[in-house]
Amino acid sequence: MDSNCAGKNEQLLLFKRAVESVRNGICITNPRLPDNPIVYVNDAFLEMTTYQRHQVVGRNCRFLQRDDRDQIAIENIREAIRTEQPITTILRNYRRDGSIFWNELTVSPVHDENGTLINFVGVQNDISARKEAEKRVSEFYSVISHELRTPLSSINGALSVIADGSAGKVNAQVMRMVSIALENSERLIRLISDILDWKKIESGKFKLNTSNISPEQLIDSVIAAVKPLACSAQVNLKKEVSTAAELSVDVDRTMQVLTNLVDNAIKFSPVKSTVTVSAELRGLDTVRFSVADQGEGIAPDQLDKLFKVFQQLDSSDSRKAGGTGLGLSISRSLVELHGGQIGVDSVVGKGSTFWFEFYTANSKVHS
């Protein structure tokens, strides 16, 4: 045996040992034979499915789905096999005893040196534990939505009726307590809404409802909404708009982003200072919204924390402003869902400017 043959044999042995040793299930099929049967599986595949080798080799992989074949993932796999394209998907499979497991499957075509299809390789990963955890989390959010938000909204409504005098006059001490309860109920409702928004975005189920609006209309609406907070904090609000370019955006969600940035600016601004809300055209087709404050500013090594989930620059119990650390993360996601970008410029001791950019409605990006 010459050295080349010996080298190839050693390499084949190495590949065989590697495939047999990995924890992922490996399955190889032969599309040149009728019904594309399995010609090889490793031990991890057998352990995952609980079948024995002689019960698997020679069969088409569809037996793993039993009668549960009305899955979109299966149609996608068939199309990928038909077009000889790689695919990664998740589908329900069944073990020998009939118990279900969730299979994260990657199927890749193998071609010879002439480009002829010779095999398909399937790499399988049992993600049942992850799916179960996702189910529990989903159930938890459902509880938050229905068992907490609904009664909280009722409590908030009742407190609002007392606060505005519709329920009759109450003395100053009671009104003070009602005001505190009303403020905290509103805070809890915002918290629950943030958590639910974040979950929808994370799961990819968040959909935008777009319509055309001008930057000035958005800013006017936000300033009107946050004016009571600004007055309470003794912070001045200033508007600067230099463009009338229309935007095609989800108006409610864009207002949510802008309101969050203005709220934060007010909370962290000194008394008698000014928060400037502006919009300007950058380039030919991009509108930048900016919210500039005159606060303490943010250190450069802290900037990377700002848009991360549940991150706050001051997470101590004594921090000046409350919050969940979700607002900026949600804002970033909402801006990116629009195809835009968000950022911050800050100088310690001179304040911060949070900004986000959207393409105009007539931009070629949206045409």
- Per-residue model confidence (pLDDT) at position 367: 40
- When pLDDT is cut at 50, 70 and 90, the band that residue 366 belongs to is very low
Q: What are phi and psi of 335, to 5 degrees?
A: -65, -45
Strands 247-250 and 210-213: antiparallel
* Lowest model confidence (mean pLDDT) among 2-11, 193-202, 298-307: 2-11
* Lowest model confidence (mean pLDDT) among 55-59, 289-293, 305-309: 305-309
- Per-residue model confidence (pLDDT) at position 318: 37
Is the pLDDT score of 228 beyond 50?
yes
**Per-residue exposure over 299-330, b if at least 16 CB sit within 10 Å of its own CB, e if not:** eeeeeeebbeeeebeeeeeeeeeebbbbbbbb
Taking all residues of the chain, what is their mean pLDDT, rounded to a whole number? 87
- Per-residue model confidence (pLDDT) at position 325: 59
- When pLDDT is cut at 50, 70 and 90, the band that residue 134 belongs to is confident
Instruction: Give pLDDT tens digits for 86-104.
Output: 999 999 999 999 999 999 9
Is the pLDDT score of 167 beyond 90?
no
Q: What is the CATH topology of the domain spanning 3-126?
A: Beta-Lactamase (3.30.450)
* Mean pLDDT along residues 293-300: 91
- Per-residue model confidence (pLDDT) at position 364: 53
- Per-residue model confidence (pLDDT) at position 186: 81
- Per-residue model confidence (pLDDT) at position 2: 59
* Mean pLDDT along residues 42-57: 95
- When pLDDT is cut at 50, 70 and 90, the band that residue 317 belongs to is very low
**Domain residue spans in the chain?**
3-126, 131-203, 210-366
- Per-residue model confidence (pLDDT) at position 300: 87
Torsion sign across C-alpha atoms 152, 154, 157, 162? negative
CATH superfamily of 210-366: Histidine kinase-like ATPase, C-terminal domain (3.30.565.10)
- Per-residue model confidence (pLDDT) at position 353: 95
- When pLDDT is cut at 50, 70 and 90, the band that residue 170 belongs to is confident
